[in-house]
Structure 1
Amino acid sequence: MKRQAYQPILITDASRSQDDQLTSRQKRYVLMMAIRMACVIVGAVLVSVRAPLLWLWLPLVALGMVVIPWLAVLLANDRPPKDKHRLANRFQPRHRDETPPMSLTAEERPHKVIDAEP
């Protein structure tokens, strides 16, 4: 019976750390809130100078002020999905009659001898 070789886990297959994910989500949130602030300022400037086509620009700016915070919160709370099981992708599927990797045959396994006589 041939034993299967153990396949090490490669570091390149590792997902990003939680700190890196959190940092990137925070940066994205701050950027989107800065865009929202710009929409508020542009809306105030357009109203104060009575810009032409104000009826077109104000709804667009207002839409940006309402939609961007909603999207920012959704994206800030978004993270990659977790695996169903930590070891689910580590081992390749095997047939019923194959031995699992790194297992010992019955002869190789350490066993206790129980003696019935004192």
Structure 2
Amino acid sequence: MTRTQGFSGPAESGSARNPALITEAQQSVEDQHKARVRKYMFIMSFRIPALVLAAVSYSMWTNPWIAMAIVGVSIPLPWMAVLIANDRPPRTRSEVSRYDGRHVESTQIEARAHRVIDASED
């Protein structure tokens, strides 16, 4: 039986069960998708109970304002669920910031002096 050596060091009896931890690696696309679906489903799971609660509150108190308030709170839930679920993972401190806050002066026209032709001079 031969032992092989890889990135995580020499192969031992328990190395197959304990893979090397890569701390710099980002979350896989599949894991990010699963997390987004879980967020979306969690937020949207409040929609149907809110509508049922509105119907129950109307039948108990016969006050349409309470029922409409509950329905009104549930209206933006799909919009909020989509925005929150499609948000990117938070930035880490090691990520490069593309905008460093400095204003770069860029001129659209050349900076050198140009000869002006004045038609009024003869």
8 Å contact kept, 2:54–2:68: no
Bigger share in helix: 1
1:51 to 55, 58, 61: 61
Instruction: Please state if 1:70 is matched with 2:63.
Output: no
**Equivalence for 1:109:** none
Preserved contact between residue 36 and residue 64 of structure 1 (Cα < 8 Å): no
Partner residue, 1:23: 34
Q: What do the CA deviations read for 1:11-55 (whole angstroms, capped 9, x no partner)?
A: 2022111111110110111111110111011011112x2427653
**d(CA) in 2 for partners of 1:42, 1:14:** 44
Letter paired with 1:75: I
CA distance in 2, matches of 1:71, 1:62: 15
Stretches of structure 2 lacking an aligned partner (at least 5 in a row): 1-20, 98-122
Tell me, what secondary structure is at the counterpart of 2:33?
A: helix
Partner SS for 1:43? helix
RMSD: 2.8
Structure 2 distance, partners of 1:60, 1:15, is 42
Q: TM-score, normalised by structure 1?
A: 0.51
Q: Which residue of 2 is the match for residue 80 of structure 1?
A: 89
How many Å separate the matches in 2 of 1:13 and 1:34? Answer: 34
Is the Cα contact below 8 Å between 2:51 and 2:74 reproduced in 1?
Answer: yes
Matched residues in 2 for 1:64 and 1:21: separation?
28
TM-score (norm 2): 0.49
SS of the aligned residue for 2:27 comes to: coil
**Could you tell me how far apart the structure 2 residues matched to 1:41 and 1:59 are?**
12
Q: Count residues with an aligned counterpart.
A: 74
* Structure 1 residue runs of 4 or more that deviate by more than 4 Å after TM superposition: none
Structure 1, gaps ≥5 residues long: 1-9, 90-118
